[in-house]
Amino acid sequence: MVTYIQFIRKNKNLVMKILFAILITMCFNFQSKAQNEKVDYDKALADSLGADDYGMKSYILIILKTGSNIIEDKAVTDSLFRGHMATINKLAKEGKLVVAGPLQKNDKTYRGIYILNVKTIEEANELLLTDPAIKAKILDTEIFQWYGSAALPVYLKTHDKIQKKKI
């Protein structure tokens, strides 16, 4: 009679192959369950944010660049940039602007970004024309459709709680 240990010693390769197959099967099974089971999924929140099954949605990404119009009068430029900041705040309060911020100096004359919570480039263009700095062409834009987390609009509420000074 062959004992269990003798069988393993005689068939090491076979036993190793079986153990390896079991291990791989368990890994795939665990990964499959991990991908399909979302215990903290909030359908109402996902629906309110317009999320797809992956928690994502489409936005419009705008890269702001140094514009084609150079205005020498500092008072005029300052006024246009105050209007630019007012527009950012207005669009954020309306839920249309979910990300905005300047870029560091670079060789592409990129100045900043916007991510707009709108569906079309046409709608984005209408909103951009409410920005006096863009309208006066001291800032130009490059516009792209972008796919990102549908949760972007809710991060601004947290930002308000950690911001000591308004820009």
Residue 42 lies in a domain: no
Residue 43 lies in a domain: no
Residue 134 lies in a domain: yes
Both 123 and 61 in one domain: the answer is yes
Both 57 and 136 in one domain: the answer is yes
CA distance 127 to 143: 12
Both 9 and 75 in one domain: the answer is no
Both 95 and 61 in one domain: the answer is yes
CATH code of residue 90? 3.30.70.1060
- What are the pLDDT digits (tens) for 21-66? 676 776 666 555 555 556 688 899 899 999 999 999 999 999 999 9
Both 63 and 137 in one domain: the answer is yes
Overall domain count for the chain: 2
Percent of the chain with pLDDT over 90: 63
Q: Are 131 and 69 in contact (CB under 8 A)?
A: no
Residue 41 lies in a domain: no
Return the structure tokens found at 32: 């499959």
Burial bucket for residue 116 (CB in 10 Å: 0-12, 13-18, 19+): buried
Of 50, 45, 154, 56, nearest to 98 (Cα)? Answer: 154
Residue 58 lies in a domain: yes
CA distance 95 to 31: 36
CA distance 148 to 56: 5
Residue 30 lies in a domain: yes
- What are the pLDDT digits (tens) for 69-107? 999 999 999 999 999 999 999 999 999 999 999 999 999
CA distance 149 to 117: 11
Of 60, 81, 78, 69, nearest to 127 (Cα)? Answer: 60
CA distance 131 to 3: 83
How many helices and strands, by DSSP H and E, does the chain display? 7, 4
Full domain range(s) for residue 85:
48-162
- What are the pLDDT digits (tens) for 109-135? 999 999 999 999 999 999 999 999 999
Query: What average pLDDT is seen over the chain?
Result: 85
Both 90 and 140 in one domain: the answer is yes
Both 61 and 28 in one domain: the answer is no
Both 29 and 77 in one domain: the answer is no
Residue 116 lies in a domain: yes
Residue 102 lies in a domain: yes
